[in-house]
A and B are shown apart, each in its own frame.
Chain A
Amino acid sequence: MTNGRIRTGISGLDKMLHGGLLPRRPYIVSGPPGSGKTLLAMQFLLDGVQGGERCLFVALEEPPNEIKANMRSFRWSPDDIEILDANSDIRRFEPTPVLEISAEVEPRRLREIDDRIRKTPDFESHEVTVHSLQQLLKTLLIKRRYERVVVDSMTALRYFCMRDFEETLTTQSFMRFLAESQVTSLLTVELPEEGNVPPEAFLARGEIRLHKLRDETGIKRFISIEKYKGSSHDEFVYPFAIRETGIVVDAGGTAETRAS
C-alpha cells in the first residue's frame, strides 16, 4: 500500500488511478469475453499475496483446476492465492438432495488444487445461490481476514445464482455486503459486444473497463477508468498488452505510442 491506496499489481493502471484503489471498497472490472478481466483480477490478488495479505478468488466461471493450469503460462507464482470453488454442479432433474454451498466448500490455496476437475457426486449436488455464497463469504471474511477478494464473475452470479425478478436488487445487496465487509474487492462483469452496460456498473465505486478492438493486424486492447468515486483519475484510454508477466499498461505513453 502506498499513501493509503491499494496497488492493483499493474503499475500503468495504478498511475491511471492516481496511485491505486481506495481501500475497503468494491470495484468493477468490465469488458467483453476474452478481454483480460480474469487476468487483471489475478494480478490484483498476486500483488496482495506478495505483500503478505490473504487473498481470495471466488470462481464462478471456471473450475479451479483450469484456473491453476491457465496461470502456469505466466511468469508468476500465484500458489498462495486462495480459491473458492463456487461453480454449481451439474443440475439434477431427479429429486436428489441439493446441498447449499455454505455447508460444504472451503477455499483452498492454488497450489493444493487438483489437476483434474471435481466431479459432481452421484447422489447429491451443490447448487450455488447468491444467498448461500454471501453467507459463506461472511463467515470466511471474519474467520480468515481476507484483505482482497475477487468475484469472477458478477455476471455468472447474476445469470446462474439469482432469480430473474430479483437480479438488480440482489446484485445491489451483494455489493453492499462487500462494502460493509471492509474488503477491497474487484468484481468482473461481462459486457456484450454492443449495447447497454449492465446494472453492476452503476453500483460500484469505480469501474475499470477493458476494450477489445479489432483491425487488420489483430486485436488491439485498451483500458480506461470509467468512474472512480473519491479520487481523481486519468481520463484517457490507454493501450495495453498481455505478456508473460501479465497485463502491461503503457500509461506514460506519448502521443505517438498512444495513437499507434
Chain B
Amino acid sequence: MDRTSIGVPGLDAMLGGGLISGRPYVISGPTGGGKTILAMHFIATGLTRGEPCLMVTLDEPPNEVKSNVSAFGWNLDKLKILDATPDIKAHKRTRSVIDVGTTLDVRDLEDVGEIRQSSQIRALEVSVHSVQKMLKQEFFARLERTKERYKRIVIDSLTALKMFSMQGEDSRIMIQSFLRFLSELEATSVLVSERLNPKVLETEFFLSRGEIRLHKWLEGNTIRRAASIEKYRGSSFDDAIRPLTISDRGITVDSNGTVRLSGLHTRQLGEGYLEQRIVEEVSTVIDGVLRGIDDAHRLRIPVTDVDRMLARAMLQLHRRNYEKALKAALNAQTAIQERLKSPPVPPPPPTVVLPPPGGRR
C-alpha cells in the first residue's frame, strides 16, 4: 500500500514506512506534548515533496502558528492555512452571529500577517459543518485552479472543533461525518486530539485508522517525552514506546531506544480491566494452594518450600508485580499438586494416620 512519510525518520520506521495514504489518523497527547509540532513535520515533509498541504487551525491564530514554527527553519510558505479560530464572543445582542464558513479565509502561510481582528458588526462562529464546508470549497477550488488535489490535511485541533461548536449538534455524528468527508477526499489527514478523559470513548479514537500517542511526564526534575503507536489498521507496526526529543530541528524519535515507564505512567496506559482480572486470577490460585497446603498438613507431607513460594507470590502481588505474582503462584500450585499426587514413600500415610482415632484410650 502507498505510504505517506511523516518526516520524522524514527516514527516512520515505527509505522513500517509511514502512514497508509488517503486515510484519517489521530495524533493524541497531553498539552505541550508536541502534537502540533508533529503535525507541522507532516506538513513540512509534504511541502518539500511538492505536495499541496492544507491546515485548519482552531487553537492558535495563523500568525502564532507561523511564528511558533519559524524556529525550526522549515519552509512553510506554500502551506494553505485556514483560520477557523473563533472571534471574540459577541455578548451584545446587536451584533449578528455569522458562520465562519462564509468567509473562506484561506491563505498561504507566507501571506499571514497580524491576528485577524474580530469584526465589529459580525462575530464569526465555528461549527464542524462550516469547517467542512470551507474545506470542501477550498479542495475543489484548488482542483479547479491548478488541477492538484490536496495530499495532506491537518486539523489542529479536533478537540477545539468539538468544544467550540457543539451547540445543538450531535457531536458523535458530526465527527463521524467529518471523518467520512476526509476519507472521501482521499487525502492523508491528521487530526490533533487531546485525550481529555480516558473513561469516555471519543469517536475519533475508534474511527481513525491509527493513533500516534505522544507522552510527557516528569522524572525527577526533567521532562521526559515518548511516542507510541496505539493502533494502526492494515499495517504491522512497532508497538514499543520510544523516546522522543524536541529540539530546534523539530521532533526526533529514537526507534531503537527504550523508555523506562514510571508507575504512574503505566497506569495511564490503561490496564484497569486487566489488572482486576489478574488480581482475581492470582487470588484464586493462591486460595487453591492454601487449601492444598492444609491438605498437606493433614497428610503430614512437608511443604515448607511451597509455603515459601506462596509467600513470594503474595509479596509480588502486594508490590503489584502481577505477572511475577502469577508466575510464582502457578509454580506453587504445580509444586503442591505434585506433592499431593505422589505421597512420599518414607512416611506411609494411611497406616500412620488411621490408628489415632480408636488407638489410645
**Is B218 an interface residue, CB under 8 A from the partner?**
no
- Report which of A120, A216, A242 forms a contact with B184, defined as CB distance below 8 A: A120
Does B266 contact A192, Cβ atoms closer than 8 Å?
Answer: no
Across the interface, which residues of B come within 8 angstroms of A211, CB to CB?
A: 273-274, 277
B266 touches A214 (CB 8 A): yes
* Distance (whole angstroms) from the CB of B267 to the closest CB of chain A: 9
Contact residues, B250-280 vs A (CB, 8 A) = 258-261, 266, 269-274, 277-278
The chain A residue with its CB closest to the CB of B174 is A91
What's the minimum C-beta distance from B235 to chain A, rounded to whole angstroms?
7
Contact with A along B57-82 (1 / 0, CB 8 A): 00000000000000000000000000
Q: How far is the CB of B178 from chain A (nearest CB, A)?
A: 8
Contact A155 B266 (CB under 8 A): no
Contact with A along B192-223 (1 / 0, CB 8 A): 00000011110101110101000000000000
Task: Find out whether the CB atom of B239 lies under 8 angstroms from the CB atom of A258.
Answer: no
- Contact indicator B278/A237 (Cβ below 8 Å): yes
- Does A171 interact with chain B (Cβ within 8 Å)? no
Contact indicator A216/B176 (Cβ below 8 Å) = no
Does the CB pair B180–A89 fall under 8 Å?
A: yes
Is A87 engaged at the interface, CB distance under 8 Å to the other chain? yes
On whether the beta carbons of A87 and B180 are closer than 8 Å, the reply is yes
A79 at the interface (CB under 8 A from B): no
Tell me the minimal C-beta distance from B243 to chain A in angstroms. 11
Tell me the complex Cα distance, A33–B203, Å: 10
Contact call A194/B236, Cβ cutoff below 8 A: no
| Shortest beta-carbon distance from A216 to chain B in Å | 6
A222 within 8 A of B: yes
Residue B138 CB within 8 A of the other chain:
no
Name A212's closest neighbour in chain B (CB-CB). B270
Please report the number of residue pairs spanning A and B whose Cβ atoms sit closer than 8 angstroms: 148
A237 pairs with B274, CB closer than 8 A: yes
Report the stretch among A11-19, A20-28, A58-66 that lies at the interface. A58-66
Question: Assuming A34-B231, A236-B281, is B180 touching A88 (CB within 8 A)?
Answer: yes
B180 near A259: Cβ-Cβ < 8 Å: no
Chain A residues in 8 Å Cβ range of B352: none
Contact across chains for A66 and B234 when beta carbons are under 8 A apart: yes
Among A61, A69, A195, A214, point to the contact of B272 (Cβ < 8 A).
A195
Q: How far is the CB of A190 from chain B (nearest CB, A)?
A: 5
A227 smallest CB distance to B (angstroms): 13
B162-188 to A contact mask, C-beta < 8 Å, 1/0 = 000000001011101100110110100
> A164 to chain B: which residues have CB within 8 Å?
170
Question: Given A73-B236, A214-B266, A216-B261, are A88 and B176 neighbors across the interface (CB < 8 Å)?
Answer: yes
Q: Are B211 and A34 in contact (CB under 8 A)?
A: yes
CB-defined contacts of B176 to chain A, threshold 8 Å: 88, 156, 159-160
Chain B residues with Cβ below 8 Å from A105 are none
Scoring A32, A159, A193, A212 by chain B CB atoms within 10 A of each residue's CB, the highest score goes to A193
Question: A89–B179 Cα gap in the complex (Å)?
Answer: 10
CA distance A256 to B233 in the complex (A): 31
- Which listed residue, A160, A235, A237, touches B173 by the CB 8 Å rule? A160
For B230, give its contact among A34, A88, A93, A159 (CB under 8 Å).
A34
Contacts of A34 in B (CB 8 A): 211, 230-232
User: Nearest Cβ distance between residue B96 and chain A, in whole angstroms?
Assistant: 19
- What would be 16 A-B contacts, judged by CB atoms less than 8 Å apart? A33-B231, A34-B232, A63-B183, A66-B23, A66-B209, A73-B235, A90-B177, A90-B181, A116-B186, A156-B176, A159-B172, A159-B173, A190-B206, A192-B201, A194-B199, A235-B281
Q: Which 10 A-B pairs have the closest CB atoms?
A: A34-B231, A195-B199, A193-B270, A70-B234, A259-B327, A255-B330, A219-B239, A218-B239, A91-B177, A192-B201
